[in-house]
Amino acid sequence: MVGDSLYSQVLSFAGFLPKEVVYTKDIAPLGSLPRKIDFERLTGIKSHREVGDGQDSVELAYEASIKALKRGNLEPEDIDLVIRCSVSKLDSERNQILEPSFASFLVERLGAINADHFDVSNACSGMITALKVADMYIKTGMAKHVLVTSGEYISPVIYEAQKVSFWLNPNAVPSLSVGDGGGAYLLGVSSDPKMLRFGEPQTLAQYDSYCVADAAIGAPGPRMRTRGKALHKAAIKQLIPSFQRVLKLLELDWLEIDHIITHQTSVKVIERGNDIAVDAFGQCKCYHICVDETGNTASTTHAVALEKGLEENHFNAGEDVLLHSYGSGLSIFIAHFIIPQGVESW
């Protein structure tokens, strides 16, 4: 394959969740939030996972990456390029890795001795953005095997939020919805242009201040502040046009798409989005929800949902998946891929 006949495909994917289960009723018990808000009922999130001792963002990405490599029948030294796309870049002491790239730490951990590496950062749309960047490296022949990976150690924002008054800081409440997780996709070369495709990337930057994460004040680790209702409203407003545009661009029939995975923010939001999509296009074959058990795992939500789908035997080789991502910014990016051969044995 030479020149313009190079395309990319998903060779494998993997999600990883740390073992410790933390229940919403324990972090947001009834009576702890203003106006008697029942956070579990409001979001549909019953639990999330948190890292154990010594685990950090690198380790979460590592676990997902090892799984993806095994499923793709590749060794770390076969990888040409590693792109990391986490929002969080925390070590186990909640320190943020700054320089060089977070990916370089992962490359060392993996022993991917032949891999070039760098980071893409685009909030919760980071994974789809990084997949597109990887796709471009493959199409130009600069890489044959690219590992796109993320490790989200973001549960510290929950505990930062708990220390402030929710009455005085209502924008801290959405921080209770997150969870830790890892995700990875292994991309390779294909001659088929339809194995991995993308919608048009868009950033509606008028909403850039709706969700912001910085260093916490007076405490280690990060903090996140989100105008939850406003962000939800803005995202819902874009939902149908974003689907309409991708269906037209990629010539897809909504009713024929086998799997649809939207950004896992809350069960209620996903169900509301589905209701709106049903009105516009009809009931899709299958939309996936995992956020009830995982919380919002930021850039890894789609990979974590895919992993859950694997565990429940939802996927068959040759089926197609639409990944719809929202990220603060407000970034909207959609990927469409074909599930690779061998998925049944993963």
Partner 1 sequence: MVIITAWADGKITAKNNIRDCAKLASEACKEANISLQEIDVVIYSGVYRPNFRSEPSCASHIQSKLDIRCHDLELSSEHCFSFDIIDGSRGVHRSIQTVSHLIEQLEVKNALIVCADVKPSKQSKWPYQNHALAMVLSGNDAGLKFVSSEYKGGKLSAYTKSSFDTKKKVSVITYFGDSSNVEETKAEREFTSDSSSLGSVQMRDFLLWSKNKKGNLKHTIVDRAGSISVTNWKV
Site for partner 1 in 102-161 (CB under 8 A): 102, 104-105, 107-108, 115-126, 129, 133, 136-137, 139-140
State phi, psi for 124 to the nearest 5 degrees.
-75, -10
Binding residues for partner 1, rule CB under 8 A, total: 71
Tell the smallest beta-carbon distance from residue 135 to partner 1 (Å). Answer: 8
* 234: number of Cβ within 10 Å: 16
Q: Which of 335, 253, 341 is nearest to 301 (CA)?
A: 335
Closest CB to partner 1 among residues 26, 253: 253
Tell the smallest beta-carbon distance from residue 197 to partner 1 (Å). Answer: 12
Beta bridge partners of 181: 152
Q: Which of 36, 49, 60 is nearest to 179 (CA)?
A: 49
Closest CB to partner 1 among residues 84, 308: 84
Residue from 202, 272, 281, 346 in contact with partner 1 (CB under 8 A): 202
- The answer to whether residue 98 forms part of the interface with partner 1 (CB under 8 A) is yes
- The answer to whether residue 319 forms part of the interface with partner 1 (CB under 8 A) is no
Q: At what angle do helices 267-281 and 228-250 cross, to 10 degrees?
A: 40
Contact region with partner 1 (CB under 8 A), list: 36-44, 59-67, 95-103, 185-193:
95-103
How far is the C-alpha of 34 from the C-alpha of 318, rounded, in Å? 48
∠ CA 274-127-12, nearest 5°, is 90
Question: Where in 228-267 is the site for partner 1 (CB under 8 A)?
Answer: 234, 237-238, 241-242, 244-245
- The answer to whether residue 209 forms part of the interface with partner 1 (CB under 8 A) is yes
Q: At what angle do helices 301-311 and 126-139 cross, to 10 degrees?
A: 90
Closest CB to partner 1 among residues 12, 57: 57
How far is the C-alpha of 236 from the C-alpha of 244, rounded, in Å? 14
How far is the C-alpha of 120 from the C-alpha of 130, rounded, in Å? 6
Contact region with partner 1 (CB under 8 A), list: 42-50, 69-77, 97-105, 302-310:
97-105
Residue from 159, 203, 293, 346 in contact with partner 1 (CB under 8 A): 203
Tell the smallest beta-carbon distance from residue 338 to partner 1 (Å). Answer: 20
- The answer to whether residue 215 forms part of the interface with partner 1 (CB under 8 A) is yes
